[in-house]
Amino acid sequence: METVLRKIRKARGMTLKELADKVGTSIPQLIRLEKGQRKLTKEWAERIAPYLNVPPAQLLFPEASTPPGAPVLGTVQAGVWREASEDPLHIEGWEDPIAGGYERIPAPPDRRYPHAAVFALRVEGDSMDRVFPPGSYALCVRLADAGLGPLDIAPGSVVVCQRRRHDIYEATLKRLRRSGGDIVLEPDSTNPRHKPITLRPPRHAQETETTIAALVVGKYERL
């Protein structure tokens, strides 16, 4: 059975050597702690927890310390291209509350999609500023988790649109509408430079691929 310590370390993308070096212990010692061959004491938890960005109690009592709310996995901003490895919608293991370590904001589960975990993306830029001003949060469910395809989404819904070009991607919010047989993703912005995107398969390998990755189910703004 995989221990909490091992789950959190893997969720952080940290190797045994990296964590052992930070904590100031040996790899064999850390392996014994991860396998439960040595007791994870309060002292060990206090040494290890800061490097995993979790409170010590989460290592010692994971069920009691599972944080509420939706994890903030990253940001969305039109026109900003990032490395594919930074894509928040392809983070592994975030649905597991034990993984922890994310900033969390108030958000109940969405009863319409009981099998889809709700996550949050912080909005930057002004491509949807009439609805989602910069600094607000979009509460989302991944289409695959909700059992939805692009044709299942009601016109007028806000979605997370991703454009990919080789090993870089852009993620932004758009409002979905239909025009004839096409799906059109439109900005809702005070800035006229943002333009609609028509969802079509790329015609060649060099063309940017556009997909709908998630459905926006709510909004959160700090006071």
What's the pLDDT at 58? 78
| pTM, entire model | 0.68
How does pLDDT run across 49-72, given as a tens digit for each residue? 889 877 787 788 765 555 678 888
Q: What is the pLDDT of residue 3?
A: 81
The CATH number of 70-220, from 3.40.250.10, 1.10.287.110, 3.20.20.60, 2.10.109.10, is 2.10.109.10
Q: Report the distance separating Cα 90 and Cα 101, nearest Å.
A: 17
Check whether 159 has a pLDDT greater than 80. Answer: yes
Whose structure tokens read 């509408």?
177
As its CATH architecture, domain 4-60 has Orthogonal Bundle (1.10)
Please give the full DSSP string across 106-141, using - where no structure is assigned: -----TTSTTS--EEEEE-SSTTTTTS-TT-EEEEE
For residue 163 the two structure tokens come to 């454009």
Please, where in the chain does CATH 1.10.260.40 lie? Answer: 4-60
